[in-house]
Amino acid sequence: MEISFNPIPNRIKSARVKKNISQKELGIRIGLDENSASSRMNHYEKGRHSPDVLTLKRMAGELGVPLAYFFCESDLSAELNCLINEMSEEEKTKLLNQLQNKNKT
């Protein structure tokens, strides 16, 4: 029996708490109706419902994280993803080259 793990609920909550905004505020910022924003965000964070990719993109923009952050299975990968996202293209290329060269040795 395969156990499925959905990292999205925990990632949403973690990023939201880090930004110090309420579920309702985040919901409103991404375009949800003010009357249902809090409950809908609560359902996303509890894993009762899954947001579509467009909704996740809006959340990513409001929370200052890359879209891929929501899909990282480990906290370490999620944090690395955020740090890499903040790098310039030149810095990313340099890091990629360093990692590729390290793996060749």
Q: What is the pLDDT of residues 69-83, one digit of tens each?
A: 999 989 999 999 999
Judged against a pLDDT cut of 80, whether residue 62 lies above it is answered with yes
The residue ranges of every structural domain in the chain are 8-104
Tell me what pLDDT residue 102 has. Answer: 81
Q: Which pLDDT tens digit goes with each residue over 4-61? A: 689 999 999 999 999 999 999 999 999 999 999 999 999 999 999 999 999 999 999 9
Q: What is the CATH number of domain 8-104?
A: 1.10.260.40
DSSP 7-66: -HHHHHHHHHHHHT--HHHHHHHTT--TTTHHHHHHHHHHTSS---HHHHHHHHHHHT--
Model confidence, pTM:
0.86
